[in-house]
A and B are shown apart, each in its own frame.
Chain A
Amino acid sequence: MIVDLRPVPDEDAGLVSLCKGGATGPFETLVKRHQKKMLNIVYRMIGDYEEACDVVQEAFVSAYKGINGFEGKSRFSTWLYSIAINQARNRLKQMKARRQFEAGSIDEPVPGRDRLIRLEPASGDPPASDTVERKEIQSKVQECINTLEHGYREILVLRDMQGFSYDEIGSMLGLLEGTVRSRLFRAREAFMKKMKSHLGDL
């Protein structure tokens, strides 16, 4: 795998400049183009499908409001996702406060968070025994990710799930590339440790 360091032409640039006048039509195209990726980033970060949909909506609204402030120094998608990540962080804090308020330990991972995924129709193909097993593993993986600290969670989602480059991750999270590298290393270590302790249950 090679990190692409060349500046990538931004396919959204044209639409973005149309939106700067306040037009909502071109923005709809941008929404349709990016909603899935945003939802997946946010969903894996916070582990709740409904909350994630909410966060994505909020993020698009504040992106629309702030689109005149987007200077094109990074790709539009990078800017957009960084907004979504910020909103997701805030939502995580709120959820944590809510859970704390509703009693129960905050350190304990909320059980069955990944159930929503299992309820998702599995893209058409019939349920086979290996699909079931794969889903089992997936829910274990998500559980492990959920128990990691937020910073680790974000970076694993962005790099290993979404395949963003170190450079892109750096600009999304506001980190230097060296920091991205070392944090990713620590996040992976933490994840492996969690998986190892969970393997017995599998």
Chain B
Amino acid sequence: MDCRDIKELLSAYIDGALSQEERAQVEEHLKTCKECSESLAALKEAVSQIKGLEEVEPPPLLAKRIMKAIKKEARYPLRIRIPLQAAAMIAIAFTSIYLYKSFQPSSVREAKELPGEYATPQAPSQPPIVVGKAGPTPEKEEAVALRNAPAPAKQEAKIADKRIQVSRAAPAKLKAAAPSVTREERMADAVMKKEPRPMAAAQPKTAAPLVAEAPAIQAPPAAAPAAEVGIMEEKAPQAKKESAGAMRMKAESIYKPTDIRVTIYAKNLDATVREVAKILNQAGATMVKYESFEYKKISISVLPPQDLPKVLEKLKPLGEVKGAESIPAPKEPLVRLIIEMVEQKH
């Protein structure tokens, strides 16, 4: 064993961590090797230097501080404390939003507190009701259906299709995809049968009328719907529904409605705001907004044009209405109604 091996063992030697055999070897070597003896002395010196480092005393309050932290942990472990803190943060956020809103002008608040909140268009919570199997490509199915139809029916189907597209863009009143499509398709059906129905009367219904739409495309107008349902027709409505849904989404995102401006000169502004809110609510107007000025309140809402005359009629008793006479019948599926309410001076 040479000096380098011995030097490696010296560290363990001073700790008494060598085996009997190793220790004997080291001791034998040290007797004769001066260099290694010096190394041993240096090593012992270094170790004693480290040992000589004084112990530090903990600060007098350390134990108390530690116990405080532990008791906190024992009472509310972190796995409980973190969710609690998160919940508190959320509560604070909601409270501050509420407080912020409650500092708005009083008339706006009153208008908002009216019963029957203005319905806002909701995202469809369920997929459309499926009738029959899905057609491979909706457009193709429609095309086939049209080609198969007799000439007059074809023409009418085209008209119906157009109407459907128009009404597709009227999402405001419609709450879910399935009933909305139903309504649109019922409209198409109504056109085909040449029984003009008022828009407001066409209430969303269950899946049953869905089927009725398909024969309208292919079959002669007067035919009883249920009798005509075939394979093709079963596929068609579903394909339509899909494309209708997609179109509607698109229309909603890019569509900018025409503005209709109406001014009401009223005696009591606050009461008028409440009345207007009620009327708009009844008419099913959406995206109702209010703006408040010193002598003026403005309500902005979006609604289908066919509901417009009714609303304007109802507004008349509230005061002198201006701008309601010369309203052109808009071709758009939605109009933006801006009602300006001005206090009438005596």
Q: Interface residues, chain A, CB within 8 Å of chain B?
A: 1-3, 22, 24, 27-28, 31-32, 35-36, 39-40, 43-44, 49, 53, 56-57, 60-61, 64-65, 117, 120, 122, 134, 137-138, 141-142, 145, 156, 159-161, 166, 181-182, 184-185, 188-189, 191-192, 195
In the complex, which residue of chain B has the Cβ closest to the Cβ of A177?
Answer: B17
- For the complex, give the distance between the alpha carbons of A3 and B23 in Å: 14
Set B47, B56, B63, B67: member contacting A24, Cβ < 8 A: B67
| 29 A-B pairs in the complex with CB atoms less than 8 angstroms apart | A1-B14, A1-B16, A22-B74, A24-B71, A27-B67, A36-B57, A39-B58, A53-B62, A57-B62, A57-B69, A60-B70, A64-B70, A64-B73, A65-B73, A65-B77, A117-B54, A137-B49, A141-B50, A141-B53, A159-B15, A160-B47, A166-B15, A181-B12, A181-B17, A182-B8, A184-B11, A191-B46, A191-B50, A192-B43
Given A64-B74, A65-B73, A161 and B66 contact (CB-CB distance below 8 Å): no
Known: A31-B67, A181-B11. A53 touches B59 (CB 8 A): yes
Write the nearest CB–CB distance from A65 to chain B, whole angstroms: 6
Given contact pairs A43-B56, A65-B73, A184-B15, enumerate 20 new A-B contacts (beta carbons under 8 Å): A1-B15, A39-B56, A39-B62, A56-B58, A56-B66, A60-B66, A60-B69, A64-B70, A138-B54, A156-B50, A159-B15, A160-B47, A161-B53, A166-B17, A184-B11, A188-B11, A191-B46, A192-B43, A192-B46, A195-B49
For the complex of A and B, list the 8 residue pairs with the smallest distance between their C-beta atoms, beginning with the closest.
Answer: A185-B11, A160-B50, A1-B16, A60-B66, A2-B16, A192-B46, A39-B58, A64-B70
Complex CA distance for A31 and B69, rounded to whole angstroms: 12
| A1 neighbours in B (Cβ, 8 Å) | 14-16
Q: Which of chain A's residues have a CB closer than 8 A to the CB of B10?
A: 185
Residues in chain A near residue B12, CB distance under 8 A: 181, 184-185
How far apart are A44's CB and chain B's nearest CB, in angstroms?
7
Q: Which residue of A lies closest to B74 (CB)?
A: A24
Whether A117 touches B74, Cβ cut-off 8 Å, given contacts A35-B62, A166-B17, is: no
Closest to B46 in A: A192
When the two chains form their complex, are residues B15 and A61 in contact, meaning their CB atoms are under 8 A apart?
no
Chain A residues whose CB sits within 8 angstroms of the CB of B8 once the complex forms? 182, 185
Nearest residue, chain B, Cβ from A114:
B53
How distant is B82 from chain A, measured CB to nearest CB, in Å?
14
Do the beta carbons of B66 and A31 come within 8 Å of each other?
A: yes
Q: Which residues of A contact B83 (CB under 8 A)?
A: none
B127 in contact (CB, < 8 A)? no
Q: Mark B16-47, 1 if CB is under 8 A from A, else 0.
A: 11000000000000000000000000110011
Bound CA span A61–B67, Å: 8
- Complex Cα distance, B51 from A7, in Å, reads 25
Query: Is B52 in contact with chain A by the CB < 8 A criterion?
Result: yes
Evaluate contact between A35 and B63: CB separation under 8 angstroms.
yes
Known: A53-B59, A188-B46. A61 touches B53 (CB 8 A): no
CB-defined contacts of A32 to chain B, threshold 8 Å = 63
**Alpha-carbon distance between A2 and B62 when the two chains are bound, in angstroms:** 34
- When distances are taken between beta carbons in the complex, the residues of chain A under 8 Å from B15 are 1, 3, 159, 166, 184
Known contacts A117-B54, A138-B53, A192-B43; decide if A57 and B11 are in contact (CB<8 Å). Answer: no
* Interface residue? B55 (CB, 8 A): yes
Residues of A within 8 A of B101 (CB): none
Q: Does B65 contact A (CB under 8 A)?
A: yes
A180 → chain B closest CB, angstroms: 9
